[in-house]
């Protein structure tokens, strides 16, 4: 089974955006044990599109096409598809009605050029797009399945999972004797890629097992992939490998698959019936933003104070002016007072706080760019730890937020505070 | 001049990593007015590699190849290159010495398989790699320039800038009569893609001009591209087109190129000597996070209150308990009190506030999921507007934050408050 992915759009060929759709689609095909043999991208150019479609139909059994389904004059995929395979364009009445309804939901009239999105090559099956105006389609051409999907990642992802994969699965149900591949993803925080590689070397050497590593700053992901003769054999082996990795790494593994740190923390807070508040200086709102990205966060998250000025630290969190004067905003006494202040003002069970120098400016010899204090308070104890992240502003903030969330997670699990290479030696 | 980029590696075709090299390389080619026509990727498979190399040589004038230059058995690019074009492999003595020296710097012995990285097809020019062990090479084959570079992004980027681009420039210096391409990017907020298309149809029809559209939620980007006989002709034309678009769209264009909304707002605040504070409920910290992502934001941003609970709205922002009881947290009186409270508590010149139902839960008939109030206070007036964003949680928050920032921008520019399709009819 040869699969190919063709993405379309001037913005890709001009390097304006990094094309993440190909990786997503290949990963999903692999979940059905289908390996992608070719990735290709062409501009919004009818000749190049036709060439690419013709080549795909000739060499691949499955071709996933993304992009060029929009309403504007540079969206040409459907026309190219029809021309390449000598089919006429036909308006699909149901799609037209759905596009009109989509606009009505927003209280708007459908623009005339949106009607174009309801046209498909004769013989194509329309694939609904519940979250956008561009439906996709499936065209079968001399034994090749050509799936066209929108280029907007969230629309494409949903269409792939809900429309495309089930159709491919159905075709595969007939094919026998292929090895079964199963893969998992484990998320780690606080250990480097080469250390992971060393720690897990014996596990990675097992027959029929391969262990991939991927940096997803500030995390490192592990991707165990196993092969078996049957699905149940592969799944049993995969579960065993994942258990072995978790046992070896302990709390360094915080989640699996799409599970984020903030989801894990939220789940633990809900389970233990605890509430959380945050006090942010250098992270500037990132902690609150991440925590509240999880639906239902209001069950356990009471709020946060983004105290970017000294005055705000005093007014909103009750940090004593004197310690700000004596120690400066980036200091242990201030981060402790911020955590305590947040816990008290919000009436929360737990609070974390951050204050640091994310850069590029604002550093000094004593307090260099990269320095950061993270504080934690649970009513019983209030503690602080000092880190040094020699990273750019954005990554400094990401690492700091992850440390703070991981501290909450570890506290709720009764684990040691942090497992970090960046902990600053006390001066 | 037709350019093509070919990236090689199983990890790409398995979707384990997103290939950012193609966007980088295309962007760099565009800086020399060279448009990339094709992107392709193949696995570490000799047959597929040879096919791809042969096709590239046949259809493109410049081919940039990345990946497959490492020391392991799955690194096959150089061998495939030699085989495809019938050249023998030769060891390059200077490269061999440099690889040995590279290992010596790290106090290690060169592994035998690294010697492979000093072999190149007969007639190829070796391109040094000062930060890795894999040198690249340039092979000229019947008028096509094939550049091979390592797949590691930082090694590739340095080789592209220091070795590849200068060689391409030199070739171009001879070529006459090529049209010169210049492009710009304008960022809009508050108008849909199909409306932009209609509004600007006459501008897009001008000779030698093309107008691309790209959705980057919640914004829509415009990409005017012009061609001219000389650089100055193209640049003059581009400036004229950009001016015409800005005049047509007014404050709907908020920035250009990489400029973000938060940078534009920050620049205006600094210029006018004004300070800002925020009060966030449904955006949960996203506003603060975005504002403080800009280096130096502490010059104008005083802080924010993320008041996710009623208690926090009272304690941190002084929202009267009575209006919370009477109108609920998602209401006009509350968002007004939040904006006023933030301005006063932080001592800021301006404040914006958000409260809404981002979903998926928490909606009712009267206050459906998607409803949101945004408030603004500048001491003179305090105002609120009601929107309805029928979007998922993440996009609801993104749209709300953008509306709030855009309000600050428009207020500082003396423009009308909002230009939005999502404004809710007052009930």
ipTM of the complex: 0.80
Helices (H), A60-210: 77-84, 93-105, 153-159, 165-172, 193-199, 201-204
Does residue B178 have a pLDDT over 70?
no
Q: Which of 3.40.640.10, 3.30.70.2860, 1.10.150.120, 3.10.620.30 is the CATH number of A180-256? A: 3.30.70.2860
d(CA A196, CA A220): 9
Start-to-end CA distance of chain A, whole Å, equals 61
The 3-state DSSP class for residue B36 equals: strand
Specify the DSSP class assigned to residue A160: I
Start-to-end CA distance of chain B, whole Å, equals 59
User: Which residues between 91 and 150 in chain A have a beta carbon less than 8 angstroms from any beta carbon of chain B?
Assistant: 105-108, 111, 113-114, 131
Which of these, B115, B275, B362, lies nearest to A308 by C-alpha position?
A: B275
* Proportion of chain B above pLDDT 90, given as a percent: 71
Does residue B426 have a pLDDT over 50?
no
The CA distance from A316 to the nearest CA of chain B, in Å, is: 6
Mean pLDDT across the stretch B257-273?
96
> Tens digit of pLDDT for each residue in B234-247?
999 999 999 999 99
d(CA A188, CA A219): 6
Q: Which residues contact B58 (CB under 8 A, 6 or more apart)?
A: none
What are the tokens at A327?
Answer: 């120690």
d(CA B149, CA A36): 23
> Tens digit of pLDDT for each residue in B57-76?
999 999 999 999 987 777 89
Specify which of A209-223, A341-355, B202-216, B403-417 reaches the highest per-range mean pLDDT: A341-355
d(CA B132, CA A291): 40
| Fold designation for A261-413 | Maf protein (3.90.950)
Mean pLDDT across the stretch B361-374?
94
What are the tokens at A253?
Answer: 């593994």
Residue of A36, A309, A360 lying closest to B13 (CB–CB) = A36
| Same-fold call for B180-256 versus B261-413 | no
The CA distance from B383 to the nearest CA of chain A, in Å, is: 23
pLDDT of residue A70: 87
Helices (H), B283-331: 286-292, 310-317, 321-327
Architecture label for domain B3-174: 3-Layer(aba) Sandwich (3.40)
Which of these, B140, B138, B131, B100, lies nearest to B117 by C-alpha position?
A: B100
Place B219 in a pLDDT band, splitting at 50, 70 and 90: very high
User: Which residues between 314 and 373 in chain B have a beta carbon less than 8 angstroms from any beta carbon of chain A?
Assistant: 315-316, 345-347, 359-362
What are the tokens at B88?
Answer: 């023998």
Architecture label for domain A3-172: 3-Layer(aba) Sandwich (3.40)
- Contact status, residue B66 vs residue B151, Cβ threshold 8 Å: yes
Question: Which of B194, B281, B295 has the highest number of chain A CBs within 10 A, making it the mutation to test binding with A?
Answer: B194
d(CA B149, CA B159): 7
pLDDT of residue B427: 41
Mean pLDDT across the stretch B185-206?
92
| Mean pLDDT (chain B, rounded) | 92
The CA radius of gyration of chain A, in Å to the nearest whole number, is 26
* Proportion of chain B above pLDDT 70, given as a percent: 97
Enumerate residue ranges in chain A where pLDDT < 70: 173-178, 419-421, 425-427
The CA distance from B2 to the nearest CA of chain A, in Å, is: 12
d(CA A135, CA A120): 10
d(CA A163, CA B346): 51
> Tens digit of pLDDT for each residue in B83-98?
999 999 999 999 999 8
CA distances from A36 to A175, A228, B15, B21, B127 (A): 17, 20, 9, 19, 31
pTM of the model as a whole? 0.80
Residue A312 falls in which region: left (phi positive, over 0), alpha (psi -120 to 50) or beta: alpha
Helix, strand and coil percent figures for chain B, each rounded to 5: 45, 25, 35
User: Which residues between 270 and 309 in chain B have a beta carbon less than 8 angstroms from any beta carbon of chain A?
Assistant: 277-278, 280, 283-293, 295-298, 301-309
Q: How many CB atoms lie within 10 A of CB A103?
A: 16
Q: How many helices (H) and strands (E) does chain A have?
A: 16, 18
d(CA B253, CA B221): 9
pLDDT of residue A417: 78
d(CA B211, CA A147): 27
**Beta partners for B183?**
B225
The CA distance from B401 to the nearest CA of chain A, in Å, is: 11
Question: Which of A34, A100, A184, A292 has the highest number of chain B CBs within 10 A, making it the mutation to test binding with B?
Answer: A292
Please indicate whether, in this complex, the C-beta atoms of A309 and B287 are within 8 angstroms of each other: no
The CA distance from A293 to the nearest CA of chain B, in Å, is: 7
Please indicate whether, in this complex, the C-beta atoms of B15 and A38 are within 8 angstroms of each other: no
| A39 neighbourhood in chain B, CB within 8 Å | 12-13, 19, 39-42
Task: Kindly list the domain boundaries of chain A, sorted by start residue.
Answer: 3-172, 180-256, 261-413
DSSP B372-414: EEEEEE-SS-EEEEEEE--S-HHHHHHHHHHHHHHHHHHHHHT
When comparing pLDDT for B63 and B194, which is higher?
B63
d(CA B404, CA B411): 11
d(CA B150, CA B9): 11
The 3-state DSSP class for residue B169 equals: helix
Which of these, A193, A196, A183, A179, lies nearest to A223 by C-alpha position?
A: A183
**Beta partners for A303?**
A277, B307
């Amino acid at each position: 089974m040869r699969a190919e992915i063709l993405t379309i759009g001037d913005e890709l060929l001009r390097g304006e955006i990094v094309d993440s759709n190909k990786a997503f689609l290949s990963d999903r095909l692999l979940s059905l044990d289908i390996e992608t043999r070719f990735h290709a991208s062409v501009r919004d150019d009818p000749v190049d599109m036709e060439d690419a479609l013709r080549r795909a139909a000739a060499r691949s059994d499955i071709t996933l096409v993304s992009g060029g389904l929009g309403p504007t004059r540079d969206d040409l995929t459907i026309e190219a598809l029809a021309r390449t395979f000598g089919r006429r364009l036909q308006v699909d009445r149901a799609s037209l009605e759905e596009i009109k309804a989509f606009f009505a939901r927003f209280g708007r009239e459908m623009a005339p050029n949106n009607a174009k999105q309801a046209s498909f090559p004769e013989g194509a099956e329309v694939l609904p797009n519940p979250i956008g105006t561009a439906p996709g389609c499936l065209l079968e051409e001399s034994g090749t399945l050509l799936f066209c999907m929108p280029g907007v990642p969230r629309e494409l992802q949903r269409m792939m999972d809900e429309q495309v994969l089930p159709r491919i699965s159905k075709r595969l149900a007939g094919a026998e004797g292929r090895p079964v591949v199963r893969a998992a993803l484990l998320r780690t925080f606080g250990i480097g890629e080469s250390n992971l590689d060393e720690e897990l070397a014996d596990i990675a050497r097992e027959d029929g097992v391969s262990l991939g590593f991927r940096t997803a700053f500030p995390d490192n992901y592990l991707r165990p992939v196993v092969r078996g003769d049957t699905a149940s054999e592969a799944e049993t082996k995969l579960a065993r490998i994942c258990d072995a990795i978790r046992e070896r790494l302990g709390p360094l593994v915080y989640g699996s698959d799409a599970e984020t740190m903030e989801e894990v923390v939220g789940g633990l807070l809900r389970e233990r019936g605890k509430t959380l508040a945050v006090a942010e200086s250098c992270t500037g709102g990132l902690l609150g933003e991440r925590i509240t990205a999880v639906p239902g966060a209001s069950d356990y998250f009471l709020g946060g104070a983004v105290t970017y000025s000294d005055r705000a630290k005093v007014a909103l969190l009750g940090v004593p002016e004197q310690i700000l004067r004596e120690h400066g905003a980036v200091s242990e006494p201030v981060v402790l007072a911020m955590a305590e202040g947040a816990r008290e003002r919000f009436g929360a069970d737990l609070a974390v706080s951050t204050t640091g120098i994310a850069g590029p400016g604002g550093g000094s010899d004593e307090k260099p760019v990269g320095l950061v204090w993270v504080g934690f308070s649970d009513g019983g104890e209030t503690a602080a730890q000092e880190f040094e992240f020699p990273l750019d502003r954005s990554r400094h903030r990401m690492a700091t937020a992850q440390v703070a969330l991981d501290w909450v997670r570890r506290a709720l699990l009764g684990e040691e505070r942090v497992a970090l290479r960046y902990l600053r030696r006390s001066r």
